[in-house]
Structure 1
Amino acid sequence: MFAERHTIKLPRFPAEPSLQKAKPATPKEVAQQWITKLESVLKNKDAAALSTVMHTDCWLRDMLAFSWDIRTIHGLDNLAVYFGDNWNHSTLSNLRIRETGKFSPSTSSPIEGLEWLESMFDFDTTVGKGSGMLRLVQGPDGVWKGYMIYTALQELKDFQQQEKYLRPHGGLEKLPGGAAKGNWFERRQRQMEFLDEDPTVLCLGAGQSGLNMAARLQAMGVSALIVDKNKRVGDNWRSRYRTLVTHDPVQYTHMAFLPFPSNWPLFTPKDKLGDWFESYANLMELNVWTQSTITSSTYDDNTHTWTVEIQRGDGSTRTLHPKHIILCTGHAGEALIPSFPGQDTFQGKVYHASFHQDAAETGSAAGKKVVVVGTGNSGHDIAQNYYENGAQVTMLQRRGTYVISAAKGLFMLHEGMYDEGGPPTEDADIAGQSLPIPVQFALNVDLTKRIAEAEKENVEGLTKAGFKIDFGEDGSGIYRKYITRGGGYYIDVGCSKLIIEGKIAVKQSPGGISHFEPNKLVLATGERLDADVVVLATGYDNMRTSARKIFGDKVADRCKDVWDLDEEGEVNAMWRPSGHPGFWFMGGSLALARQYSRFVALQIKAIEAGLTQR
């Protein structure tokens, strides 16, 4: 069951006309007065006084600032309990608003009838430094109170990321042991092979998750090794179908510490991204063993240590003892490959979308009858690929799909935040994650309507062509589908036009496929489709299935299911405690990998530094 339970209706807080007659305080004055009162409440650990600064219907999204987890708290009573449970862990102090820039105090109306004052702010905690967002609403009595508050730990005081003023010196005389212990190159060879120590963290997978993760860890002084089965770093993208490009624009997809160059393409071709990954690993001095796989693993609850055997590409075997393992193989698990009655009698070709390379490589596609089962991103891209190689293509749709164009709607999603005129990426990440996920859903309803209006011609054309469009639960659009299902949408890069023009056919079959015949695919509706090739763009299982396949039942049974939302509205098990000590799930888009790798690294560093229990 996906997270439909997180459909909410936001209350309205319109500006009070009677209060506008008096000279209003400036947004900066209001924000400063409020944050001063909040700091006093926190300093005095006075849960009873929270009602003087927080609205009854308030929300707090907290990422490690109060507790060592990612939490969403809704309602004043629940907030008082949360603060009470965590006073001794961490108390915010030295709260200060951002006085300049895009996120200095200002008022806005995100939807009709809801007006708030918002500002970014910075703070100290017992163990580190953080940043957040405040959003205040004004009651009938004119008092401003906290409505949406975000607090996120950004660094640990004693273990700051080695960047900017803290960057390494680089001179040989500054390295431990001096020249006698080797120059930079000689030391790197020993580091990469872990000849002198075991890695503290073992990351499985050298995609965007593993690379961002290792870069964050090493910047905090935590040794990390990435193990990847491919021949080269970046092959996880190079090996995908020939026409693939990123579906998010470059401004949104930067990686930690090393943004893409200013002349980088807006959307990155897969092979170019693979080359960037390889360069990133070298430039960031990440330790990567390619052509390597885990052959066995055990965890000792007494020593909090893994024993992992790794088969390397040269045939050798190494046994390592990391404290943590991070599964960085993507937010999805194993490919969901259904089978159907009569499939063994089918004289054509059937394969899952994950095995697709290029229609031109499957033999002569011209004139072939191809049925693509599934209407998400992969299904559309593969259908377009086959059509462009001369095939007769039919897409089979079981249920509605949300469609947003890369030319219009996609940029509306990122407008003012991740675009050429946007704020620094670090600030955009804070603001972009600052609203509770259920609140984001609610606010996205209006945005989804505006996108649909801007793309009206496309929406009407698809509907007329027999394609069923689903705008998501409560009409909340793409993000809800992504964060709860990991699919159910298509970012249109050309296939919609082919459907509208009738060049690619669409068949509806809510019951899916009934069975195969030697030369046909029979739908649950009874309709028979001639087919030479059937592509099953049927998605992927829970990421926990990957953990079970690699690490066995003993580990997987202790883990929680991954993805979708928990009762509070946070993502299950991803980027936070998995249920198994020393085992973490790390996945998501390039942007999410950049953003959340910080929080996973902070959690691991806090454990290793003794700031929190394992």
Structure 2
Amino acid sequence: MRMRQPDHDVVIVGAGFGGLGAGIEFKRLGFENIAILEREQDLGGTWHVNHYPGLAVDIASVTYSYSFAPNPYWSRLFAPGAELKRYAEHIADHYDLKRHMEFGTTVTLAEWDDTQRVWHVSTADGAERTCRYLVTATGFLSQPHTPDFAGMESFRGRVIHTTAWQDGHDFTSERVAVVGTGATAVQLIPEIARQARQLTVFQRTPIWVVPKVDFPIPNVVQRIFARLPITQRAARLANTAALEALMVFGVLHFKQAKAGNRGAELLARAHLRMQVRNRRTRKALTPDYDFGCKRPTFSNAYLRSFNNPHVTLQTDSIDHVEPDAIVTVAGERIEIDVLVLATGFDLWGVNFPAFRIVGRDGRDLGKWWRDNRFQAYEGISVPRFPNLLSLNSPYSYSGLSYFTTIEGQMKHIRRLFGELTRRGDDTFEVSEEANDAFLDRVTERLDSSVFYNGDCSSARSYYFNQHGEAALLRPSSTLSTLREMDRFPLDDYIYG
């Protein structure tokens, strides 16, 4: 039977940095019939969606960027979010990716056609297209979580979710409640505290906060980076080494290097003691889980905010919402004008992956993951899902900079498609045996991590799925990850 030519060689879902990286790699491989489908109205992923006050990268900018496309003109060591957005625009222009992009296009379903050996990709507008290769690059933190507090519909004030920020909103003279104390709230709360008449922060789980060594990068340094790229590569190497020490020794090898973990915790405790005057507030802000169970963050302003007389830390849970107030389970009624939801994302729930993906034999990827163990070979491919590259998969996130993950996956794509071309084939699928062996290997490596050897019982961390497994992080150093992605056994895949 004659095979139908698909509409596209490659469909990439998502135009954040993961999707941009995939697009760059496929263009390097010679593919031009590429469609990059993005549900938002512009590219940039999280750096387009998020634009709340105080938004900045939480990894030094020299590391939070593509190693092959450095930006010498970061204004600060930790660049503000608008600069990351401009960097994404620059990358899309430089690598000629914009002409492949379709915005406002929400993918709802992808189904594998075993007869035609193509993916059928359906979108919310009722259209359908086919492609030979499907890449999901929808990001780990792309499905906002909105809590359903009793009485929310009765609230007469303004409700603002951090992923749908209302630019220009002035909190001056307003009574504000912020729900959540994760990384987003750590950046946002000091900004609101500078304006609001009254600010109540509802904390479910405290977060470990370490000092933020941040400063403007002088113009002379930017010019040196531009003229002598080796200097910026040296800065990147130094910062990567520091992050590796924190991640590998403090988190992944907790069992063998508890001293490193305890050192990071002591630093955070000392920072808290220096920043917060009130002993009772300090105690409430101190996590009772081990450092690394939940992603820590950097800030020199968040903890100090609680010294202000108009800022209150509330640790009682919310019972219900009234038209002009929040009522806690203890019965305390707190009158507010604005409710800010910094409530994070739904990572492992029914919205993961971001759309329904059906492979061979009718296997539904999301359902299969939730009913069984979350798993993906090398964090990128899954048995019974031919020609699928899932960039936001279990055990894919490596290191503390997302760009380690992206560049490792680009290497994997390059090696895999090189073999596909050499064979003259057009389909690939990881074998069950290779997938099982990889899952066993990463599970064994994680046995030494803080997730299983430390006390994470109260962390409520998105690192853990509903099965109690820390299935997000790849238990390897940056160098090991990049090496493994460039050297995986080619016969782990079945070609056709």
Shift of 1:325: 1.9
Report whether the alignment pairs 1:284 with 2:95: yes
Task: Report the AA paired with residue 268 of structure 1.
Answer: A
What fraction of aligned residue pairs are identical, expressed as a percent? 20
Q: Aligned to 1:540, what secondary structure does the other structure show?
A: coil
Shift of 1:421: 4.6
Shift of 1:285: 2.5
Provide the rounded CA distance (Å) in 1 between the counterparts of 2:369 and 2:232. 31
Shift of 1:265: 3.0
Shift of 1:345: 2.3
Provide the rounded CA distance (Å) in 2 between the counterparts of 1:491 and 1:431. 16
Give the equivalent residue in structure 1 for 2:477. none
Change (3 A) 1:504 1:476: same
C-alpha contact (below 8 Å) 1:519/1:530 kept by paired residues = yes
Q: Aligned to 1:542, what secondary structure does the other structure show?
A: coil
Task: Report the AA paired with residue 205 of structure 2.
Answer: R
Give the equivalent residue in structure 2 for 1:331. 140
C-alpha contact (below 8 Å) 1:513/1:522 kept by paired residues = yes
Give the equivalent residue in structure 1 for 2:263. 450
Provide the rounded CA distance (Å) in 2 between the counterparts of 1:556 and 1:277. 35
Q: Aligned to 1:334, what secondary structure does the other structure show?
A: coil
Structure 2 residue aligned with 1:464, among 274, 279, 296? 279
Structure 1 residue aligned with 2:180, among 374, 398, 401? 374
TM-score by length of 1: 0.54
Task: Report the AA paired with residue 450 of structure 1.
Answer: G
Provide the rounded CA distance (Å) in 2 between the counterparts of 1:231 and 1:536. 23
Give the equivalent residue in structure 2 for 1:521. 326
Change (3 A) 1:521 1:309: closer
Provide the rounded CA distance (Å) in 2 between the counterparts of 1:435 and 1:445. 11
Report whether the alignment pairs 1:533 with 2:346: no
Report whether the alignment pairs 1:594 with 2:406: yes
Shift of 1:249: 0.4
Shift of 1:374: 0.9
Provide the rounded CA distance (Å) in 1 between the counterparts of 2:373 and 2:207. 24
C-alpha contact (below 8 Å) 2:17/2:88 kept by paired residues = yes
Provide the rounded CA distance (Å) in 1 between the counterparts of 2:365 and 2:15. 25
Pairing of 1:48-59 with structure 2 (within 5 A): none
C-alpha contact (below 8 Å) 2:6/2:118 kept by paired residues = no
Q: Aligned to 2:202, what secondary structure does the other structure show?
A: strand
Provide the rounded CA distance (Å) in 1 between the counterparts of 2:234 and 2:327. 52
Give the equivalent residue in structure 1 for 2:430. none
Shift of 1:395: 0.7
Give the equivalent residue in structure 2 for 1:124. none
In terms of Rg, which structure is larger?
Answer: 1
Q: Aligned to 2:173, what secondary structure does the other structure show?
A: coil
Give the equivalent residue in structure 1 for 2:494. 613
Report whether the alignment pairs 1:507 with 2:319: no
Shift of 1:580: 3.4
Give the equivalent residue in structure 2 for 1:392. 198
Q: Aligned to 1:385, what secondary structure does the other structure show?
A: helix
Report whether the alignment pairs 1:496 with 2:303: yes
Give the equivalent residue in structure 1 for 2:217. none
Query: Deviation per CA, 1:385-437, whole angstroms, max 9, x where unpaired?
Result: 222223411111112322122228xxxxxxxxx99755759996997899699
Change (3 A) 1:504 1:419: farther
C-alpha contact (below 8 Å) 1:296/1:551 kept by paired residues = yes
Provide the rounded CA distance (Å) in 1 between the counterparts of 2:250 and 2:418. 26
Q: Aligned to 1:250, what secondary structure does the other structure show?
A: coil
Change (3 A) 1:429 1:396: closer
Using CA pairs under 8 Å that are at least 6 residues apart, name the structure with larger relative contact order, 1 or 2.
2
Change (3 A) 1:282 1:419: closer
TM-score by length of 2: 0.66
Report which of the two has the higher share of strand.
Answer: 1
C-alpha contact (below 8 Å) 1:334/1:543 kept by paired residues = no
Give the equivalent residue in structure 1 for 2:113. 300
Shift of 1:255: 1.0
Give the equivalent residue in structure 2 for 1:257. 68
Give the equivalent residue in structure 2 for 1:229. 39
Task: Report the AA paired with residue 298 of structure 2.
Answer: I
Pairing of 1:56-455 with structure 2 (within 5 A): 198-223=7-32, 224-234=34-44, 236-240=46-50, 241-261=52-72, 265-286=76-97, 288-293=100-105, 294=107, 297-309=110-122, 320-358=129-167, 360-361=168-169, 364-407=170-213, 421=234, 439-442=252-255, 445-455=258-268
Task: Report the AA paired with residue 173 of structure 2.
Answer: G
Q: Aligned to 1:252, what secondary structure does the other structure show?
A: coil
Shift of 1:533: 1.5
C-alpha contact (below 8 Å) 1:465/1:499 kept by paired residues = no
Q: Aligned to 2:58, what secondary structure does the other structure show?
A: coil
Provide the rounded CA distance (Å) in 1 between the counterparts of 2:249 and 2:384. 23
Task: Report the AA paired with residue 215 of structure 1.
Answer: I
Q: Aligned to 1:481, what secondary structure does the other structure show?
A: coil
Q: Aligned to 2:365, what secondary structure does the other structure show?
A: coil
Change (3 A) 1:262 1:292: closer
